[in-house]
Structure 1
């Protein structure tokens, strides 16, 4: 895994992110990893609208992700941000009814390019997001993976945020269920030493 590097999604790396998404046909119905952002755009968006919306948010510094690189090629990512940046989570009503407090950061989507799946890159992306959060000052981080009971029951294409087991391996602890097949995982991330 040491051959992979992590870079933050920034205006300078947006082209690498765009190339990754375009190679994979927009990921999840051409979402461009915009679904979890606020609903401040037309709901009848096109693929190009989603791309433009994502790029604007990156340019404004209100969209974050850890990009996993193999050499110069971005091959995976983990989207993260504050609850204000990423308010649209699945099962939100249930989540809010059972939450004692909101986290400082959320990890909402982890994607690995199809041809690179099965190599542990979702974990690399998750670690990359945690490292970037630490560099930003750390805090309480939540993820919302699929709780498969330790058994892969779903095609990896549908595990948009990894599995509970993967989060546990990366130091997250189980907090509570969320919906029928997901859960809330929590980790306190210390600020990075400067």
Structure 2
């Protein structure tokens, strides 16, 4: 594979930004801000970029970036519920909620031309290693169950179930027809 994983920080920001820019701002300009704040009308890609960079500068965002040599191929974003308060399927998520996790794994992205090479799996492993360095705890993810059905990549931004299960997560409860809350303690 030849991948290395690095934290998203001021040293890796340029490589992260290059990948995002090469992929239309990710999902049309999200810049991986969709779990930090509610995205909607009036927010621009430039605003998302500036806010993401500001969070990197202050250490208020976390991601495991996957590199091949010096090229960033993709990432897995993680953080505390305070850092990443937005979740998909909120009503069903909150209905089954008993306690908040210590950490959330909210989204994945792999750049065009790099998909199907294990980038998401490497990113998830890197995120778990970084979480362990921060002291660990209960980690929650929200992957999509593909059930051997063909699923558009846009539905897999929270990760495929198989990647989470390969890293020791267990299904806790469904929050949509094909999305689950999965947990693991690190």
Q: TM-score, length-normalised on structure 2?
A: 0.95
Is 1:160 aligned with 2:151? no
Q: Using the alignment, how far apart are the partners of 1:16 and 1:146 within structure 2?
A: 28
Aligned length: 186
Q: Which residue of 2 aligns with 1:114?
A: 112
What 5-or-longer segments of structure 2 have no aligned partner?
none
Is 1:146 aligned with 2:144? yes
Q: Which residue of 2 aligns with 1:68?
A: 66
Q: In angstroms, what is the RMSD of aligned CA positions?
A: 1.4
Secondary structure in 1 matching 2:113: helix
| Deviating more after overlay: 104-113 vs 177-186 | 177-186
Secondary structure in 2 matching 1:21: helix
What 5-or-longer segments of structure 1 have no aligned partner?
190-194
Is 1:173 aligned with 2:170? yes
* Cα shift at 1:160: 0.4
Decide whether the 8 Å contact of 1:38 with 1:85 is kept in 2: no
Is 1:185 aligned with 2:185? no
Secondary structure in 1 matching 2:129: helix
Q: Using the alignment, how far apart are the partners of 1:172 and 1:188 within structure 2?
A: 8
Decide whether the 8 Å contact of 2:125 with 2:167 is kept in 1: yes
1:113-147 deviation line (CA, Å, top 9, x unaligned): 12010111111111010011011111100110101
Q: Using the alignment, how far apart are the partners of 2:75 and 2:179 within structure 1?
A: 20
Q: Using the alignment, how far apart are the partners of 2:60 and 2:157 within structure 1?
A: 21
Q: Which residue of 1 aligns with 2:23?
A: 24
| Deviating more after overlay: 60-69 vs 154-163 | 154-163
Is 1:45 aligned with 2:43? yes
Decide whether the 8 Å contact of 2:89 with 2:176 is kept in 1: yes
Runs of 4+, deviation exceeding 3 Å: none
* Cα shift at 1:157: 4.1
